[in-house]
Amino acid sequence: MARSRAVFLDRDDTIMVDMGYCRNPEDVCLLPGAAEGIRALEEAGFLIVIATNQSGLGRGSITEEELAAVNQRLREELRNKGAEYDALYYCPHRPDENCECRKPKPGLLLKAARDLGIDLGASYTVGDREWDVQAGRAAGTRTVLITNGRTPSGTPTTADVVARDLGDAARLIANHLNSHTEDSS
C-alpha cells in the first residue's frame, strides 16, 4: 500500500484566530492566507491533518460538544473558501497530565500516521509555536514555524524554515518539493 504524505497543521493561530478556549462557533475567524494555503497544499497532493492541543476540555472550560461545533464551523468556513482538511486530532489533556498526545510530544501525529497511512518522512508540520515544531521533529517530519507578523522570541527556533503565515508556508513547501523534483530529473 502506498503511503501518503501530509501536512500537519496546528489549529489556533495557524488556521484560525486563537480565541482562548473557543466555545462558540460564531467566534471562528480564519487567519489571512489560511484557506488559500490549505487549498494549495491539497492541490500539491498532501493530506491535511489538524493536530491541536485543546486543554480547555481537561480544564472544564469547554465541552466535547462545544469543541465539535467549533471544529464543524471551521470546516464550513474553509469549505466556503474552497479548502478542506482530511482529519482532525486533538489532545484534551492539561499540561500537568504528561500524556503522550499533547504537543510537544508527537502522539497526535503518530496516531494520524498510523490511522491514515502517512509517510512521516515525506510530510511537514506547520504551527505557530515551538512545541508544534518539536512535535513535528519528534515524529520525523520537516517543520515550518509561522509568525503571523509577530517578531520571533529571543529563543532560536529548531524549525526547518520560518514563514509569515500559512499561505507563505504553503509556497515554501511547494518550492521545496519543486526543487527536489528538479534535482532528481
Residue-wise pLDDT tens for the chain (185 aa)? 457 999 999 999 999 999 889 999 999 999 999 999 999 999 999 999 999 999 999 999 999 999 999 999 999 999 999 999 999 999 999 999 999 999 999 999 999 999 999 999 999 999 999 999 999 999 999 999 999 877 666 678 889 999 999 999 999 998 887 765 444 44
Domain of residue 137 covers 6-183
Determine the pLDDT at residue 74: 98
Q: Are 76 and 26 in contact (CB under 8 A)?
A: no
What's the domain count of the chain?
1
What CATH number is associated with residue 151?
3.40.50.1000
Q: Determine, yes or no, domain membership for 47.
A: yes
**51/91 Cα distance (integer angstroms):** 8
Kindly state the cell numbers that stand for 172.
Answer: 515554501
Q: Determine, yes or no, domain membership for 1.
A: no
Relative orientation angle of helices 166-183 and 34-43, to the nearest 10 degrees = 20
Annotated catalytic residue within 10, 128, 132, 165: 10
Give this prediction's pTM: 0.93
10 catalytic, yes or no?
Answer: yes
Annotated catalytic residue within 12, 128, 132, 165: 12
**159/16 Cα distance (integer angstroms):** 21
12 catalytic, yes or no?
Answer: yes
